[in-house]
Amino acid sequence: MIENIDISLVDWSRAQFALTAMYHWLFVPLTLGLTFIIAIMETIYVRTGDEEWKHITKFWMKLFGINFAIGVATGIILEFEFGTNWSNYSWYVGDIFGAPLAIEGIMAFFLESTFIAVMFFGWNRVSKKFHLLSSWLVAFGASLSALWILVANSWMQYPAGMHFNPDTARSEMLDFWQVLLSPVAANKFLHTIFSSYMVASMFVIAVSGWYLLKHREKLLSMRSIVIATTFGLIASLFTAYTGDGSAYQVAQIQPAKLAAMEGLYNGKNGAGLIVFGILNNNDNDRDEDDITMKIEIPKMLSILGYRNADAFVPGINDLVNGNKEHQIVSATEKINQGKIAIDALAKYKEAKKLNNQQAQDSLQKVFEENYKYIGYGYLNDPKSIIPNVPMTFYSFHIMVALGFYFIFFFMLVLYLAIKQKFENKKLILRLGILSFPLAFVASMAGWIVAEVGRQPWAIQDLLPTIVATSNIDASAVMLTFALFAVLFTVLLIAEIKIMISQIKSGPKGGSHV
């Protein structure tokens, strides 16, 4: 099926996708959250008629526009990259994966791109109410776009509603609703958008805090902080709630990811959740739990993963070597079954060419019996089912720690804002500015857990990343990686410089030369 595997090509293809996706994700959370914050502000303007709210709305809209443009620029490549760099993947799952991407275009992108023009240029051209409706539709469209791309991503983690068709040699959709309404998709969507709303709230708080420290734009800043902290607090609570849901789902469908998240090598009943810990050995090949300075909540991992304080949580060794007591099949056994499935598929193709129906039927039976682990058949080393443990472990703990930090931060700021004590709390204002980059760190860390933690799979258990690439030279991908790195970095510098300049000039400053 696959002629040969070029590891250098796989690594560069992964590096390029990671680079472009992470650049894109620098801008998406702000787009998702700011659209709602702007729509809320404009709603207050329309309801109260207070012109100051209009100025506030327009100011944040100006900053949103700068961010949105580069978000669009970095986003276009992601859709096409599935074709350019992951063409084997595109054929193998295009029957299922392509649908959400197309729906995203039809349902969400047109909604955004149509009404964003009204949002920016319609103040003097359409009625107040139509303008407000447009702002809400842009907010709705942005989150709708996130829904479809996260449905697609969730399907890679939890391939539901499909079967494999040996005649076409690809996965095909059996039930659209299972793809769309999969519990993983629902949870991932909510977790991602709420965490993005948090990031946007922190942006508003940081900019407003900077103004207050400079004794500027007091009314704008105070009002913006009240909106952003309320929105951010609600979002952060939902982020925590859906994060809990994510941990439960990961335990059920991606046990290796959960083990890596916790650095758990030897499974145990009543496993504890590590609140803080340092991995002593960053070598992925080790086989013992080796965490120092560990602070652990007893039994919490079992509760999170299985809703049972005494439940068994498999460790990496259990998943690699198998564990008969807990009916865990070893990676070696899965690799063997996968190879049988791949071999049966090849022979099925030959039998079909020879028009040998009897052989086809029996080979199809063998194939279907072993298909569950077909992806393992492309692996040779049982240990290759282990994701990068240090990266997953630290990203997970940084994300969770920051998530809780933001809940307390939003609560504190909201309390001070309500008591009107915010303005003079310079420490809190400075903390607000310093915390803004941490919101991005938390968001990025979440994606690292999700994507690095699911390796070696492009499609969980069915298609490893190593066979999903396009049939191209690694040197071509190295070159495009370098081009993207240079271009996106230059554009990022431009974006940051413009953003800082616009913030410094304030709501009454010129937005153009």
Partner 1 sequence: MFETMSLLHLQQYWWILVSILGALLVFLMFVQGGQTFLYTLPQTLEEKKLLVNSIGHKWEFTFTTLVTFGGAMFAAFPLFYATSFGGAYWVWLIILFCFIIQAVSYEYRSKPKNFLGTKTFDFFLFLNGSLGVILIGAAVSTFFTGSQFTVNAYNLSKWQHSLRGLEAAFNLTNLGLGLGVFFLARILGLLYFINNISNENIYQRAKAKLLPNVIAFLVFFLFFLISILLKEGFAYNPQTKLVSMEAYKYLHNLLEMPLVLGLFLIGVVLVLSGIIITLFKSSKKGIWFSGLGTILTVFSLFLIAGFNNTAYYPSVYDLQSSLTIENSSSSKYTLTAMSYVSLLIPFVIAYIYYVWKAMDKKKLDMDELSKEDNLY
Q: Which residues in 285-314 contact partner 1 (CB under 8 A)?
A: none
Among 1, 181, 295, 486, binds partner 1 (CB under 8 A): 1
Minimum distance of partner 1 from residue 321's CB (angstroms): 32
**98 or 390: CB nearest partner 1:** 98
**111 or 414: CB nearest partner 1:** 111
Per CB under 8 A, contacts with partner 1 among 63-82 are 65-66, 68-70, 72-74, 76-77, 79-80, 82
**161 or 390: CB nearest partner 1:** 161
Integer Cα distance of 159 and 181 in angstroms = 12
Beta bridge partners of 165: 170
Among candidates 389, 462, 413, which has minimal Cα distance to 159?
A: 462
Count the neighbouring beta carbons within 10 Å of the beta carbon of residue 43. Answer: 15
Integer Cα distance of 157 and 185 in angstroms = 9
Beta bridge partners of 464: 457
| Helix residue ranges, H only, 26-127 | 28-48, 51-84, 87-103, 110-121
Per CB under 8 A, contacts with partner 1 among 353-412 are 353
41 binds partner 1 (CB under 8 A): no
Per CB under 8 A, contacts with partner 1 among 251-270 are none
DSSP assignment letter at 375 = G
Size of the site for partner 1 (CB under 8 A): 89
Length of the chain in terms of residues written: 513
Minimum distance of partner 1 from residue 339's CB (angstroms): 16
Minimum distance of partner 1 from residue 138's CB (angstroms): 11
Residue 454, token pair as written in the block: 């699911």
Among 109-117, 241-249, 304-312, 387-395, the segment contacting partner 1 (CB under 8 A):
109-117
Among 288, 483, 489, 506, binds partner 1 (CB under 8 A): 483
Residue 28: φ, ψ to 5°:
-65, -45
DSSP class per residue in 381-422? -GGGGS--HHHHHHHHHHHHHHHHHHHHHHHHHHHHHHTT--
Beta bridge partners of 164: 171
Minimum distance of partner 1 from residue 17's CB (angstroms): 14
121 binds partner 1 (CB under 8 A): yes
Beta bridge partners of 457: 464
String of contacts with partner 1 for each residue 487-506, x by CB under 8 A: x--xx-xxx-xx-xxx--x-
Count the neighbouring beta carbons within 10 Å of the beta carbon of residue 505. Answer: 12
Asked whether 366 and 344 are in contact (CB, 8 A), the reply is yes
Residue 285: φ, ψ to 5°:
-85, -5
**107 or 366: CB nearest partner 1:** 107
Among 169, 181, 482, 486, binds partner 1 (CB under 8 A): 169
84 binds partner 1 (CB under 8 A): yes
110 binds partner 1 (CB under 8 A): yes
Buried b (16+ CB within 10 A) or exposed e, 180-211: bebebbbbbbbbbbbbbbbbbbbbbbbbbbbb
Among 103-111, 301-309, 390-398, 399-407, the segment contacting partner 1 (CB under 8 A):
103-111
String of contacts with partner 1 for each residue 180-219, x by CB under 8 A: ----------------------------------------
Buried b (16+ CB within 10 A) or exposed e, 130-148: ebbbbbbbbbbbbbbbbbb
String of contacts with partner 1 for each residue 129-168, x by CB under 8 A: -x---x------------------------------x--x
Per CB under 8 A, contacts with partner 1 among 316-335 are none
Among 59-67, 198-206, 277-285, 408-416, the segment contacting partner 1 (CB under 8 A):
59-67
Among 8, 48, 113, 308, binds partner 1 (CB under 8 A): 113
470 binds partner 1 (CB under 8 A): yes
